[in-house]
Structures are given as C-alpha cells and as structure tokens.
C-alpha cells in the first residue's frame, strides 16, 4: 500500500501576536509542555536582563541563565548548567545567538526547546539547525525543531530596526532559492519537494507583496509567520534548499572573504537574491525585488553595506565554493570575472540608483 500521508516535523505551538509573552507560562502549561512551570530560560546578559525583570513574576518556577555569546562553548556550558535541574523545557529568549545556544543545549540534555525570538533578523528561529562559532570558524549543528515558537509583536516593535528589517531580505530570498531549485531540477534532475517549495515560496511572496513596513503590526505578523514557515519548509525538505540558493552563497562569500566587515545575514541575502534574479534573466522580478528591498531600507547595491564594486565581483566569483554540491544560477552560468563585471554593471543600470 502506498504511504498516503506524511508527518511534518513542526512545533506544537506557534503563538505570534502582540502581548504573547504575557501568556507564555499558561500557554506552555495548557499544551502540556511544562505542567510544573519548571523552565530553564536562557537570556543574553544585555537586553535579556530587561525581559527577565518583566517576565520573572509570571514564571515563578523558572530558573534564568545568562548566555555569553553564540559559541559552541557557550552552548556546552549552558547544557552543563541546566542538566541537573529536572526542567520540563528550555526557553531560548533573545536574538539568534541565544536561541541557537539554547537549541543546542536543549538537544544535548534531551529537553524540548521553546523559541522566543526578540527580533526577526533571519529564518533560523524555527529551523532544525543551530549555528554556533567553534574552533574551526562556524558550524551548523542538526538539532530537533523547537516544540513551541512564541513571538510577541510588541517586543519585536521595540527591537532595533536593523534586526527586524534583515528578516525581510532573508524571507524574500526564498523566491530566488526556489528558482535555483527549479533550475537544478530542470538541468540535473534534482528532486524538488513540492510541499517544502510551496511553503517557502508563499512565505517569500507574502512578504514581497505586503504593502506595509516594520512599523505596522500586521506587517510584522506576516514577516514573523514567513520566517517560521521558512524554517518549517527546511524541516519538510530535510535541508536548507527551500530557503538557500545563490542568494545564500553570495551571503556566505561576504562572510568568508570579509569576516570583519560582513553585514547582517538577511541584508546580504536580500541583495544576493535581487542580483541572482537578474543573473537568471528575470529582470522584472529583480527590479521589483530591489524596489521592495529599498522601500524597507535594505541594501540592493554593495556600496550600501560598505563594499566596492570590485569586492562584490570577487564575492560573486567566490560564492559557488561556499556550498559545494549545491547547484544554483551561479554554478549554471559559471561566469568569468569579466562576465560578472559586465552583468553587474547591467544590474546597476537596471535597478537605477
Ligand atoms: Zn537565510
């Protein structure tokens, strides 16, 4: 008999709304994630202190752990600190680094993770991957998906604008990533997971076409949902394919070639996506993407994040080496330096300055 359905690894709770944090304890109790209220809450030692002050009275059974940064050592230390506490769950409350530390620590001690992001900088908040700095640079560690994702849009309103805007670039880049996947399917017969592609594409399109901005709660709702859905799309396909193509290779190349000067992940991915769409000949889509990114105050030209044109050409040339085995428009065209220069000049003209 054929398999007539499949289970999708996804959080039990997705709670995205203004004021969601005020109900965190009762939501976790109602959903049987934490009946006793015994939670290990990981926060940053910076802005986390403010949130701790606000939340502690509502979570009387919680223990609070300050996490230094986003390194593997920080995550291992956190796991060591919480392992004897007999907690129901680990809560990662903060930006991407805190959540990734909490994800890894929770996996190590066999507890479920509740992700409570305080900004929307990228789509890692609900993904089965923890990105941590290690002795060799940076590593991606497979971990279980969060059991719950709680995003308080009031908290997001108060986050630094740059860390909210960046998520727009990461969400929109799904559209370019899916185009790369379809290209690999046409040229190499790589199998597309249609459900993962649909989820990721709709997430990207919803953000691309939304008329609002980061000051509007309804836009933040769509953006937060899009980033959660992108993470679920990656769980469905079992890899980052639905949300990562040439756009992300360009992003990784910025990080690897210029580790000290790299901009935010989502900023680089958005720029990479607008350029990748141009490379594949989707000139109208590229121009529209650039227009939307600009409207949100995101970069569409390398100079807007402090890079020269020549440096960008180097980035594009190096990009395919960052993800061996992934076939995108960059590997497909296999451009020479001069060809990249020419196409980049055309892109600049096409999107205007
Ligand atoms: Zn990304």
Cα 159 to middle of ligand 1, angstroms = 19
| Together in a domain, 69 and 168 | no
Q: Are residues 151 and 252 in the same domain?
A: no
Residue 8 in domain? no
Please give the Cα distance from 185 to 23 (Å, whole number): 45
Burial of 161 (0-12, 13-18, 19+ CB in 10 A): middle
* 182 domain-assigned: yes
CA–centroid distance, residue 166 to ligand 1 (Å): 10
Q: What is the CATH number of the domain that holds 20?
A: 3.40.50.1970
Percent of the chain past pLDDT 90, that is, above it, reads 79
266 alpha carbon – ligand 1 mean position (Å): 6
Identify whether residues 258 and 303 lie together within a single domain. Answer: yes
Looking up residue 294, the CATH number of its domain turns out to be 1.20.1090.10
Tell me if 91 is assigned to some domain.
yes
| Ion ligand 1: residue ranges with CB closer than 5 A | 170
Is the distance from CB of 316 to CB of 310 less than 8 angstroms?
no
User: Do 187 and 307 share a domain, yes or no?
Assistant: yes
Ligand 1 centroid – CA 243 distance (Å): 6
Name the domain boundary from 104, 130, 158.
Answer: 158
Distance 26 CA to ligand 1 centre (A): 32
Answer whether residue 126 is part of any domain: yes
Let me know whether 95 and 135 are in one domain: yes
Do 321 and 172 fall into the same domain? yes
How much distance in Å is there from the Cα of 128 to the middle of ligand 1? 13
pLDDT on residue 351: 93
Q: Are residues 204 and 252 in the same domain?
A: yes
Q: How far is the CA of 56 from the centre of ligand 1 (A)?
A: 32
120 contacts 155 by C-beta, under 8 angstroms: no
Mark which of 127, 158, 189 sits at the end of a domain: 158
Judge if 138 and 170 occupy the same domain: no
Q: Would residue 338 count as lying in a domain? A: yes
Establish if 43 belongs to a structural domain. yes
Question: Rounded to two decimals, what is the model's pTM?
Answer: 0.94
Cα-Cα-Cα-Cα dihedral of 335, 314, 259, 43, to 10°? -40
- Shared domain for 247 and 205, answered yes or no, is yes
145/210 same-domain check: no
Tell whether 233 and 127 lie within a shared domain: no
Give average pLDDT by consecutive 10-residue segment, the chain, 353 residues.
Answer: 80 95 88 90 84 89 91 95 94 93 96 95 88 86 92 94 96 98 98 97 98 97 97 92 97 93 95 98 97 98 97 98 94 98 97 81
Q: Is 188 part of a structural domain of the chain?
A: yes
Domain count within the chain: 2
User: Cα of 269 to ligand 1 centre, how many Å?
Assistant: 7
pLDDT for 1: 63
Domain boundary among 136, 158, 180: 158
Do 123 and 255 fall into the same domain?
no
Q: Domain span at residue 107?
A: 13-158
Q: Token pair for residue 186?
A: 């046409």
* Residue 68 buriedness (CB in 10 A; 0-12 / 13-18 / 19+): middle
Residue 190 lies in a domain: yes
């Amino acid at each position: 008999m054929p398999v007539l359905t499949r289970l999708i690894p996804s959080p039990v709770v997705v709670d995205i709304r203004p004021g969601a944090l005020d109900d965190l304890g009762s939501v976790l109790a109602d959903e049987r994630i934490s009946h006793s209220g015994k939670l290990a809450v990981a926060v940053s030692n910076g802005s986390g202190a403010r949130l701790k002050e606000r939340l502690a009275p509502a979570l009387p059974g919680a223990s609070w752990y300050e996490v230094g940064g986003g390194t593997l050592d920080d995550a291992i230390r956190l796991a060591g600190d919480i392992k004897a506490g007999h907690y129901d769950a680990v809560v990662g409350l903060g930006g991407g680094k805190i959540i990734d530390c909490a994800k890894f620590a929770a996996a190590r001690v066999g507890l479920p993770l509740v992700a409570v992001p305080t900004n929307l900088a990228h789509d890692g908040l609900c993904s089965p991957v923890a990105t941590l700095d290690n002795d060799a640079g940076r590593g991606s560690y497979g971990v279980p998906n969060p059991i719950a994702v709680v995003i308080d849009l009031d908290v997001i309103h108060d986050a630094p604008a740059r860390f909210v805007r960046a998520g727009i670039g990461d969400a929109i880049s799904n559209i370019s990533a899916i185009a790369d996947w379809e290209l690999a399917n046409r040229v190499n017969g790589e199998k597309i997971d249609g459900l993962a592609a649909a989820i990721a594409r709709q997430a990207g399109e919803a953000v691309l076409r939304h008329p609002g901005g980061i000051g509007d709660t309804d836009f933040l709702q769509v953006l937060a949902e899009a980033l959660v859905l992108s993470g679920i799309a990656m769980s469905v396909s079992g890899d980052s394919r639905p949300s990562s193509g040439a756009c992300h290779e360009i992003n990784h190349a910025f990080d690897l070639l210029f580790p000290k000067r790299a901009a935010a992940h989502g900023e680089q991915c958005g720029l990479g996506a607008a350029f990748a769409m141009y490379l594949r000949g989707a000139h109208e889509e590229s121009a529209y993407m650039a227009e939307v990114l600009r409207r949100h105050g995101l970069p569409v030209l390398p100079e807007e994040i402090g890079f020269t044109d020549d440096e960008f050409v180097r980035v594009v040339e190096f990009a395919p080496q960052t993800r061996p085995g992934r076939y995108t428009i960059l590997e497909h065209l296999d451009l020479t330096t001069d060809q990249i220069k020419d196409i980049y000049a055309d892109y600049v003209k096409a999107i205007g300055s």
